[in-house]
Amino acid sequence: MNISIETSLEKARKLNRLRSVPSDYELDMLKRALALMRKKMHN
């Protein structure tokens, strides 16, 4: 797993503890990260 994705996930979890609902921007970044991971797995 990519280190940058791991750290962004950790940041998202910390933000979610402070704020119950993630922003659209955070959700979009998370979707992009997951899509990249799926591409790497298939290739």
**Residue 16's domain spans which residues?**
3-42
Give the pLDDT confidence of 4-37 residue by residue, as tens digits.
Answer: 777 887 887 777 676 656 678 888 888 999 999 9
Position 32 scores a pLDDT of 94
Please answer whether residues 12 and 22 qualify as being in contact, where contact means their C-beta atoms are separated by less than 8 angstroms.
yes
The model scores a pTM over 0.75: no
Q: Which of 37, 40, 38, 42 is nearest to 6 (CA)?
A: 37
Distance separating the N- and C-terminal Cα atoms of the chain = 14
Q: Which of 7, 8, 2 is nearest to 26 (CA)?
A: 8
Into how many domains does the chain fold? Answer: 1
